[in-house]
A and B are shown apart, each in its own frame.
Chain A
């Protein structure tokens, strides 16, 4: 029963993708759209296999992945401390709060042309763009996570002899784990989006640049194949993040687990 159940469960998860591909193929095959602009699923599949056979494609994937993770790591290293001091110090909240609010809705890709001026075309601009985009999720989720730690837990720790300067490690950060891992997952999604977008205008390498070149030259089947490859990579990275998060959060209520 369990095996059948598992198959059905997986099947039902794959069903939306199958329907999407079927709809795509239906539109592409119906002649409603010019096949040059909307290649068939088969053509994209062939292009993907083609790309998979070339060494340089893996190099591009690795470059894009590296820029995403590099920017993400920088965003965490800078964003988590800012969110932390904002949560524990009123002065820091007064200082960073308005900055966070003012820049929250700013599309970070809009800064890429400026970054090109400062940092030139290449990895530096891409990594900084990703860092800027992932900074705020880390700041905001760390801040709210720490603020959300029940006062009664801090009191308990104080009563048991935890000094104020150790409260962060003993209570506040462990209590904020859930929110911080949610922030990480959101930031991870951003990191791929921004890395690809920035590569399109500010890089000579990477999957974003590759998509741009294929798009410019009208090789849409290859462009979509590159999109599919990066989607798969982002999906795997997300699933790994969720699996690791849920392992770390095994103490938390089941309904709070990341999906």
Chain B
């Protein structure tokens, strides 16, 4: 520790073991000339390999938090550390998946998945092998040369997940990834995400407004307050993830924690809008 302090540019944060640290982060937007406080004094720590979900009332700034972690927009105050280093912009150590898929419409399924691999300047053979492996993994063999417009919503989201998993960022930031899908496709995709996550063991932060989804997928669920958003409650999810979906969803342990998170979120939703009570 002493050595660290005397080395220039070598800060004690490097000693921290957490993958992501958000310390007293605030964010103000300028909306039509008047400042809007999106996040206030938010704290969050995520460990390596953890799957953390963030739920909160609409407009609480949960997506903003994700975009700040991704490096798309800067924080107004506070510190965000990834692997002990402050976030200064986007980086390939953090992959993001959007609700709207954000596939490049002019590229085929194959080229979309290979995009990040090519940007990483991997040898052609490796690009091909990895892209083909992920196409197989998401069950889209035979669809390699289709364009996104020719795919269903579920297929597009599979491609978006595969595109981000393929170049192996250590952290995955998921912004309501299944929000645009119908209920059945959602469940399939959730299990697919679990499978991908377990086989790669990345650190995941997922923003969602679906409590069941958060509880089913995560190790930990954080509940955010109304705007200005901060994390008001955390739930450790200690469920037997060896169970299949039916056993899990019908278990008492799952129901109990799901209800607890639902109630916590509902408290936050109804706090500021009494009519919803």
Contact = CB atoms under 8 A, between A and B. Distances in A.
Contact of B72 (A155, A160, A175): A155
Interface string B48-81: 0000000000000000000100111000000000
Interface string B104-134: 1111100000011001100000000000000
A161 B102 contact: no
Interface in A105-146: none
A253 interface: yes
B197 interface: no
14 contacts: A150-B102, A152-B100, A153-B104, A155-B90, A155-B102, A158-B89, A159-B91, A160-B95, A161-B119, A174-B104, A177-B106, A251-B105, A251-B108, A252-B105
Contacts of B106: 174-175, 177, 251-252
A159 B90 contact: yes
A171 B115 CA distance: 11
Interface of A: 150, 152-153, 155-162, 171, 174-175, 177, 250-253
B165 to A, nearest CB: 12
Interface of B: 67, 70-72, 89-92, 94-96, 98, 100, 102, 104-108, 115-116, 119-120, 147-149, 163, 167
Nearest to B148: A251
Given A153-B102, A252-B105, A161 B120 contact: yes
A160 B116 contact: yes
Most chain B Cβ neighbours within 10 Å, of A158, A161, A250: A161
Main secondary structure of the interface of A (DSSP, over half): helix
Given A152-B98, A252-B149, A158 B104 contact: no
Contacts of B148: 251
A174 B148 CA distance: 15
A161 B148 CA distance: 21
A155 B96 contact: yes
Nearest to B146: A251
Contacts of B94: 159
A253 B151 CA distance: 12
Given A156-B104, A159-B95, A252-B149, 13 more contacts: A150-B102, A152-B100, A155-B90, A155-B96, A158-B90, A159-B72, A159-B96, A160-B167, A161-B92, A161-B116, A161-B119, A175-B106, A250-B147
A251 B105 CA distance: 6
Contact of B102 (A156, A177, A250): A156
Given A161-B92, A171-B104, A174-B106, A156 B149 contact: no
Give 5 closest A-B pairs by Cβ, nearest first. A160-B116, A251-B147, A158-B90, A161-B119, A161-B92
Most chain B Cβ neighbours within 10 Å, of A158, A159, A161, A250: A159
A160 B100 contact: no
B104 A162 contact: no
A160 B102 CA distance: 12
Contacts of A250: 147
A177 B104 CA distance: 13
A250 B145 CA distance: 12
B149 A251 contact: yes
A162 B72 contact: no
Nearest to B89: A158
Most chain B Cβ neighbours within 10 Å, of A150, A156, A175, A253: A156
A161 B94 CA distance: 10
Nearest to B95: A159
Contacts of B96: 155-156, 159
Contacts of B119: 160-162
Nearest to A248: B106
Most chain B Cβ neighbours within 10 Å, of A155, A157, A160, A175: A160
